[in-house]
Amino acid sequence: MACIGKQKTASGIRFYVQLSPGENYNRPKIALGRVSRKEAGTARTNIENLIASKKTGAVIASTTQKWLSGIPDSLRDRLEKLELADPRIGKERYTAKQWTENYISMRENDKTTKADTIRKLENVARRLSAFFKTEKLDEISVYDAKMFKGYLLGTVGLSENTARKHISISRQFFNAAIDKRLITENPFKGQPVTIRPNETRFFFITPEMAQKVLEACPDAQYGG
């Protein structure tokens, strides 16, 4: 029987299912990503159903078929590699570079997107492509997305607010990929994108300063 294991990572606890020797001699681990213990239990049950179906040739239970159709691409790819699930036919898979180019082209063709917006999209797309290189969209995890922000702050040398703007646009790219059903989750979801005020630009006005300004204002013009 397969067992559930957990691993502590920089972004939290991650669960996996490890097959028993009777199910697979090599006892491979199947990473489940960011799921709860209950969801990990559901995954184990369905993976065992897939193993049983493969051994006996029985029809896969409808509940397992439904579960299989809704899992992340990265998990589905792993199951296909272990020959526990049939390969998907005609599944489109894009790298970050391919997808961002596709999305920007679509925005250019709609004739409503301003040139400045296109420039910003291209700027972020270039950095996504440089960081993720040949990785497919469905292979990019929440942890990877956080590492991308670290790359922006460290290697590229952006300020916190500029990095947040990049994350916001990255989220936009990946939301569009969800709409096209290329991926099921946005790895950039949850990262802060609100622009923080720059306190170095703050200037405190004392009551005395305010009074001097009022005294310098022409009474008729300012209602005095």
Does residue 218 belong to any structural domain of this protein?
no
Does residue 87 belong to any structural domain of this protein?
no
Residue 91: per-residue pLDDT: 67
Does residue 212 belong to any structural domain of this protein?
no
Residue 201: per-residue pLDDT: 66
Mean pLDDT by 10 residues, the chain (224 residues): 85 86 85 87 94 91 90 85 82 88 91 92 97 90 95 96 97 95 90 79 74 74 52
77 and 119 housed in the same domain: no
Q: Is 78 helix (H, G, I), strand (E, B) or coil?
A: helix
Residue 71: per-residue pLDDT: 85
Tell me the angle at which helices 73-81 and 37-56 cross, rounded to the nearest 10 degrees. 30
132 and 46 housed in the same domain: no
Q: In which domain, by residue range, is 34 found? A: 3-81
Number of folded domains that form the chain:
2
Residue 204: per-residue pLDDT: 72
Tokens 């949850």 identify what position? 190
75 and 101 housed in the same domain: no
* d(C-alpha 92, C-alpha 130), whole Å: 21
59 and 106 housed in the same domain: no
101 and 197 housed in the same domain: yes
Residue 151: per-residue pLDDT: 97
68 and 159 housed in the same domain: no
Residue 138: per-residue pLDDT: 87
Q: What is the pTM of this model?
A: 0.54
129 and 185 housed in the same domain: yes
* d(C-alpha 174, C-alpha 115), whole Å: 21
Residue 152: per-residue pLDDT: 97
Residue 110: per-residue pLDDT: 84
Where residue 128 sits, what CATH number does that domain have? 1.10.150.130
Long-range contacts formed by 150-156: CB under 8 A, 24+ apart: 151/127, 152/127, 156/127
101 and 190 housed in the same domain: yes
Does residue 206 belong to any structural domain of this protein?
no
Residue 131: per-residue pLDDT: 96
Residue 208: per-residue pLDDT: 79
Tokens 């006996």 identify what position? 56
Residue 87: per-residue pLDDT: 80
* d(C-alpha 23, C-alpha 52), whole Å: 9
Does residue 39 belong to any structural domain of this protein?
yes
136 and 160 housed in the same domain: yes
Does residue 89 belong to any structural domain of this protein?
no
